[in-house]
């Protein structure tokens, strides 16, 4: 069988390799190396500094969970902030909720947005919603300058190291807390418990220390290292396990991953993760 070229993400002693047929875009921006490829079997692939950000094949899983899980944790969200998220996937999912009034995104790298708009329109269509306001800048600085403003803040960041580094520290989480309106909820990309247990422990220790309610949800995303990634979810004013709200039938038809049952399942952890989370609460 004819074989294309193979491209790997290699980090933390672990490799993920995908077959590609075309290099569609390459640019060294002010912040990172941006590459978009056509893969043989998995649609398009976005990499930043050699790290897989999404493929067309499984991006729905991550984006639906990052958007709808926090959305259904808040009883009446109106104003949401996304930090990072330059591919537009989280915005695309949030835009499915007519009750939202304002959708703000603070992405550090305008070149990521431009490249995704050109080569990944199925994901970047999230930017086209008229409720979206785009802010270009460092998300850690943006939250520091906004107090008591958002019902939900979603941190859809790259991994620590590179421009995402400030989005993993205590100061940032304190600023996130201060940027929430009463009743607010945060959700943040929080890595794989198999590969990066130290980061998972650190972030969960932070959210448990700073917020009254905190937990960690895991979603299955085959092209992320170890096939899964976690999300910290936290709030001062409400339990992060509300009675699982029904998803309206018309919206559910557009979703492939998120459902009330998938939501509950994302908090049902294998024993080693439960032990890690127990430590985070001590
Ligand atoms: N789902 C992906 C993952 O977990 O690998 C993340 C996707 S999204 C493309 C990540 C975005 O975060 C990138 O576009 C990057 O430019 C942005 N980013 C990194 N550091 C940032 C910062 N300090 N402020 C705002 N955006 C940042």
- How buried is residue 160: exposed, middle or buried, by Cβ count under 10 Å (0-12/13-18/19+)? middle
Pocket test for ligand 1, best of 45, 52, 65, 86 (most atoms within 8 A of CB): 86
Please say whether the beta carbons of 153 and 167 come within 8 A.
Answer: no
Is the torsion defined by CA of 192, 195, 198, 199 positive or negative? negative
Task: State if residue 36 touches ligand 1 by the CB under 6 angstroms criterion.
Answer: no
What DSSP designation does 128 have? G
Q: Which of 206, 223, 222 is nearest to 214 (CA)?
A: 206
Task: State if residue 192 touches ligand 1 by the CB under 6 angstroms criterion.
Answer: no
pTM of this structure: 0.97
262 C-alpha vs ligand 1 centroid, how far in Å? 25
C-alpha 150/C-alpha 219 separation (Å) is 25
Q: Is 156 a catalytic residue?
A: yes
One pLDDT digit (tens) per residue for the chain, 282 residues: 456 799 999 999 999 999 999 999 999 999 999 999 999 999 999 999 999 999 999 999 999 999 999 999 999 999 999 999 999 999 999 999 999 999 999 999 999 999 999 999 999 999 999 999 999 999 999 999 999 999 999 999 998 888 999 999 999 999 999 999 999 999 999 999 999 999 999 999 999 999 999 999 999 999 999 999 999 999 998 788 887 678 999 999 999 999 999 999 999 999 999 999 999 999
Q: Which of 211, 195, 229, 199 is nearest to 281 (CA)?
A: 211
Please say whether the beta carbons of 60 and 93 come within 8 A.
Answer: no
Stretch (H or E) spanning 156:
strand 150-156
Please say whether the beta carbons of 203 and 180 come within 8 A.
Answer: no
Distances in Å between the Cα of 201 and the Cα atoms of 27, 132, 196, 274 are: 34, 33, 9, 11
Specify the pLDDT at position 2: 52
CB atoms < 10 A from the CB of 130, how many? 7
44 C-alpha vs ligand 1 centroid, how far in Å? 18
């Amino acid at each position: 069988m004819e074989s294309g070229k193979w491209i790997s993400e290699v980090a933390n002693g672990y490799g993920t390799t995908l077959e590609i047929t075309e290099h569609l875009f390459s640019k060294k921006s002010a912040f990172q190396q941006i590459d978009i490829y056509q893969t043989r079997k998995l649609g398009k692939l976005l990499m930043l500094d050699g790290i897989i950000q999404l493929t067309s094949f499984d991006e729905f899983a991550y984006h639906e969970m990052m958007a709808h899980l926090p959305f259904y944790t808040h009883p009446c969200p109106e104003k949401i902030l996304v930090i990072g998220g330059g591919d537009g996937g989280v915005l695309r999912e949030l835009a499915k909720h007519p009750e939202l009034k304002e959708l703000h995104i603070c992405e550090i790298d305008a070149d990521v947005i431009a490249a995704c708009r050109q080569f990944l329109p199925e994901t970047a269509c999230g930017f086209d919603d008229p409720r979206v306001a785009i802010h270009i800048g460092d998300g850690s600085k943006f939250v520091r300058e906004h107090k008591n403003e958002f019902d939900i803040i979603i941190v859809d960041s790259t991994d620590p190291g590179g421009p995402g580094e400030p989005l993993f520290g205590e100061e940032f989480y304190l600023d996130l807390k201060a940027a929430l309106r009463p009743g607010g909820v945060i959700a943040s990309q929080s890595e794989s418990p198999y590969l990066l247990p130290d980061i998972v422990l650190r972030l969960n220790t932070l959210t448990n220390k700073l917020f009254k309610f905190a937990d960690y949800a895991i979603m299955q995303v085959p092209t992320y290292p170890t096939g899964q990634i976690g999300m910290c979810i936290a709030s001062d004013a409400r339990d992060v396990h509300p009675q699982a709200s029904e998803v309206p039938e018309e919206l559910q038809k557009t979703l492939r991953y998120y459902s009330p049952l998938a939501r509950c399942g994302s908090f049902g952890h294998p024993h080693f993760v439960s032990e890690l989370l127990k430590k985070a609460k001590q």
